[in-house]
């Protein structure tokens, strides 16, 4: 079955010594599946860019083990070299991951050909699907549309999927859809702020944070049902809360989302890999609390 549906990106919990907290991670994964997730994802807000080589492999191992074939598992494998990305991809496939996902290198400015060759090298090294991710909304550079179409032509839509995040998200998503005659399987990853718009443009699924998963699952079901009143009852407070996360980029998502996971009782703490560029202040926290209460009331 092709990758689809609500696939939350997991946050990585840490203990006081800075090690990955395996039990809390398992609790997070259990909660995700109990809440209605179709799978789980390791990606940018999992702090993979700060975990290091061994930490990334350890996280992938823990996630694939804890998921226990209850749904899809997607492991991000993007790296600064094609060789390392291939190693991460092969490792994920060996663990039984459903798919891998990759962003381009972030330290090197690549042209279209080099970007295409990087993704093609990863895809050729494995037999599971590759989700090509443009995370340029907060890290790296935008991917040219020709890269997407060339990869799709070369490998087919059962092997290459897409998560375009370059702004403006909706129009760019439609360009990819139209350029591929609707063959591209596309996922959105805006945290929920663009979910309604992107759903109407024909996405196969969404990859939000885990913190608002109950709201996102309910919103996805409302979109499937075409329940317009329910759609906006849920989406408006979700959008307002995600707007607070967006103002500080990746660290904004990390800080607020870990705060909410602790508030829910899923995480023991809000520890992030340091250094980080932004921490939740009291006034923002108060607004997060107010909006979170509105989402829970809508549910």
Q: How confident is the model at residue 113 (pLDDT cuts 50, 70, 90)?
A: very high
Supply 92's token pair.
Answer: 């994920």
Q: In this predicted model, what pLDDT tens digit does every residue of 245-256 receive, in sequence order?
A: 998 888 999 999
Supply 30's token pair.
Answer: 């259990």
Residue 50 CA to residue 43 CA, distance in Å, equals 11
Q: What is the reported pLDDT for 121?
A: 98
Residue 266 CA to residue 18 CA, distance in Å, equals 18
Mean pLDDT of 178-194: 94
Mean pLDDT of 147-168: 95
Mean pLDDT of 153-165: 96
Based on its alpha-carbon atoms, the radius of gyration of the chain, rounded to whole angstroms, reads 18
Q: What is the reported pLDDT for 139?
A: 73
Q: Reduced to 3 states, what is the DSSP secondary structure of residue 146? A: helix
Closest to 42 (Cα-Cα) out of 111, 92, 110, 105 = 92
Residue 141 has pLDDT above 90, yes or no: no
Q: What is the reported pLDDT for 135?
A: 83
Looking at domain 5-225, its CATH architecture is Alpha-Beta Barrel (3.20)
State the residue for tokens 């290198």: 105
């Amino acid at each position: 079955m092709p990758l689809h549906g609500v696939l939350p990106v997991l946050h990585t919990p840490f203990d006081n010594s800075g090690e990955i907290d395996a039990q809390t991670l398992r609790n997070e994964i259990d909660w995700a599946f109990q809440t209605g997730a179709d799978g789980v994802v390791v990606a940018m807000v999992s702090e993979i860019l700060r975990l290091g080589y061994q930490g990334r492999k350890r996280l992938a191992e823990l996630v694939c083990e804890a998921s226990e074939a209850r749904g899809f598992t997607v492991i991000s494998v993007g790296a600064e070299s094609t060789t390392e990305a291939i190693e991460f991809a092969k490792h994920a496939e060996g663990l039984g991951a459903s798919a891998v996902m990759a962003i381009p290198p972030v330290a090197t400015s690549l042209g279209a050909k080099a970007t295409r060759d990087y993704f093609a090298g990863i895809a050729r090294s494995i037999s599971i699907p590759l989700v090509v991710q443009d995370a340029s909304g907060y890290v790296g550079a935008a991917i040219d549309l020709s890269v997407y179409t060339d990869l799709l032509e070369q490998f087919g839509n059962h092997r290459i999927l897409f998560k375009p995040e370059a702004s403006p998200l909706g129009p760019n998503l439609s360009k990819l859809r139209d350029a591929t005659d609707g063959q591209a399987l596309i996922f959105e990853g805006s945290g929920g702020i663009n979910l309604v718009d992107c759903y109407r443009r024909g996405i196969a699924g969404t990859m939000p944070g885990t913190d608002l998963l109950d709201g996102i699952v309910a919103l996805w079901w409302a979109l499937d049902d075409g329940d317009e009143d329910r759609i906006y009852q849920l989406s408006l407070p979700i959008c307002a809360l995600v707007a607070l996360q967006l103002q500080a980029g990746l660290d904004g998502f990390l800080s607020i989302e870990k705060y909410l996971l602790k508030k829910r009782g899923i995480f023991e703490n809000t520890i992030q890999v340091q250094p980080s560029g932004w921490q939740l202040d009291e006034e923002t926290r108060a607004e997060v609390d107010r909006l979170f209460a509105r989402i829970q009331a809508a549910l």
